[in-house]
C-alpha cells in the first residue's frame, strides 16, 4: 500500500474560521432555545422580538428605528391587546381628567356604586365583565337639555378615539340622565335626550374615522343610575355618556359578581 505523502493527513477539512462560526451558531441556538423554554408564549413579546430581529437584519426601511414600541400592537399583525393593556393606556391618556388614586367600588342592592375613594374627576374608568367603561360626566360634553357636543368634551373623545381607532373591539355608546323631568326644549323625555346624546357622540366617532360597523348606541334615560339621585353631585354624575369598549379576556375573572373596579 502506498504511503501518504507528508502534509496530506486529514484530507484537508474546513477552514478554521468555519469551525469557530459553527460553534458560535450552535451556542446562539442553544441560548434562544433556553430563553424560549423559560418564557411564556406572549404574543406581544414575540412581536417585539421579531421586530428587533428584522431591524438587526436590515429588513426595516432606512430612517425607521428598529426598536418596537411598547404601545398597543397594531391590528395589522393580527394580535389583540389584552384588557389590562387597554385599561392602563386609557388611564395614562385621560390622567388629566381622572383624579389621582383609585378605590374599590361595590354595587348595593339597589344597584348603586358605593366606595370611599370614588373618583370625582369628569371621567371615570371601570372594568366590568363586558369590558372597559369610560364614563364622561354629561356636563363636560353637553349643555343642559342639549345634544350638541361641546369643544371641551370633544377633546376627551379625541383621546379615546386615538386609542380605539386601531383596535377591532366593538364600542357601545350609552346615554344616561338623572331622574329630573325634562321641561321645555326640543326633547320631550329623558329617553329622547339620552338617545340623542349617544347618537351625537356616535356621529363624532364616525367623523373621526371609526368604522360605523364597530359602533352601537343605547339610551337608558334615568333607569341605570350609578348613584342615588339624592344630591346635586350624584345627579350630575348620573347625567353621563358611557363609552363601553367591549374587551373580553383576562383581567376580570376574579370579579364575576356585582363588584367592579373604579379607576
Please tell me whether residues 189 and 62 are part of one structural domain.
no
Nearest to 220 by CA among 254, 248, 192, 262: 192
Please tell me whether residues 234 and 122 are part of one structural domain.
yes
Q: What is the pLDDT of residues 177-187, one digit of tens each?
A: 999 998 888 89
Please tell me whether residues 51 and 100 are part of one structural domain.
no
CATH code of the domain covering residue 125: 3.30.1330.60
Could you tell me if residue 75 is inside a domain? no
Q: What is the pLDDT of residues 3-22, one digit of tens each?
A: 555 555 555 667 778 778 88
Could you tell me if residue 219 is inside a domain? yes
State percent of the chain over pLDDT 70.
63
191 and 219 Cβ atoms separated by less than 8 Å: yes
Q: What is the pLDDT of residues 251-260, one digit of tens each?
A: 333 332 333 3
| Domain stop point among 52, 70, 88 | 70
Please tell me whether residues 85 and 131 are part of one structural domain.
yes
> Domain residues for 57?
16-70
Q: What is the pLDDT of residues 107-146, one digit of tens each?
A: 454 454 544 444 467 888 888 888 889 999 888 999 988 9
Could you tell me how far CA 239 lies from the centroid of its own chain?
24
Please tell me whether residues 59 and 118 are part of one structural domain.
no
CA dihedral 91, 233, 144, 152 (to 10 degrees): -30
Q: What is the pLDDT of residues 82-98, one digit of tens each?
A: 777 888 888 888 877 77
User: Rounded to whole angstroms, how far apart are CA atoms 8 and 232?
Assistant: 100
Amino acid at each position: 500500500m502506498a504511503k501518504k505523502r507528508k502534509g496530506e493527513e486529514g484530507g484537508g477539512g474546513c477552514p478554521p474560521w468555519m469551525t469557530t462560526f459553527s460553534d458560535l451558531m450552535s451556542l446562539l441556538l442553544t441560548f434562544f432555545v433556553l430563553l424560549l423554554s423559560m418564557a411564556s408564549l406572549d404574543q406581544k413579546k414575540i412581536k417585539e422580538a421579531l421586530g428587533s430581529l428584522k431591524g438587526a437584519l436590515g429588513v426595516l426601511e432606512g430612517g425607521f428605528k428598529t426598536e418596537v414600541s411598547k404601545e398597543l400592537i397594531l391590528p395589522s399583525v393580527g394580535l389583540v391587546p389584552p384588557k389590562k393593556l387597554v385599561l392602563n393606556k386609557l388611564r395614562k391618556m385621560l390622567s388629566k381628567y381622572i383624579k389621582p388614586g383609585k378605590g374599590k367600588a361595590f354595587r348595593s342592592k339597589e344597584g348603586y356604586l358605593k366606595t370611599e375613594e370614588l373618583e370625582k374627576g369628569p371621567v371615570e374608568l371601570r372594568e366590568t365583565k363586558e369590558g372597559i367603561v369610560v364614563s364622561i360626566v354629561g356636563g363636560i360634553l353637553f349643555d343642559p337639555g342639549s345634544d350638541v357636543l361641546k369643544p371641551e368634551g370633544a377633546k376627551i373623545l379625541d383621546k379615546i378615539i386615538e386609542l380605539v381607532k386601531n383596535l377591532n373591539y366593538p364600542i357601545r355608546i350609552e346615554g344616561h340622565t338623572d331622574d329630573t323631568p325634562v321641561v321645555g326644549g326640543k326633547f320631550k323625555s329623558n329617553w329622547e335626550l339620552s338617545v340623542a346624546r349617544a347618537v351625537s357622540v356616535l356621529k363624532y366617532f364616525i367623523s373621526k374615522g371609526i368604522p360605523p360597523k364597530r359602533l352601537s348606541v343605547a339610551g337608558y334615560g334615568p333607569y341605570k343610575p350609578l348613584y342615588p339621585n339624592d344630591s346635586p353631585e350624584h345627579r350630575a354624575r348620573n347625567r353621563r355618556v358611557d363609552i363601553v369598549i367591549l374587551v373580553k379576556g383576562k383581567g376580570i375573572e376574579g370579579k364575576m359578581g356585582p363588584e367592579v373596579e373604579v379607576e
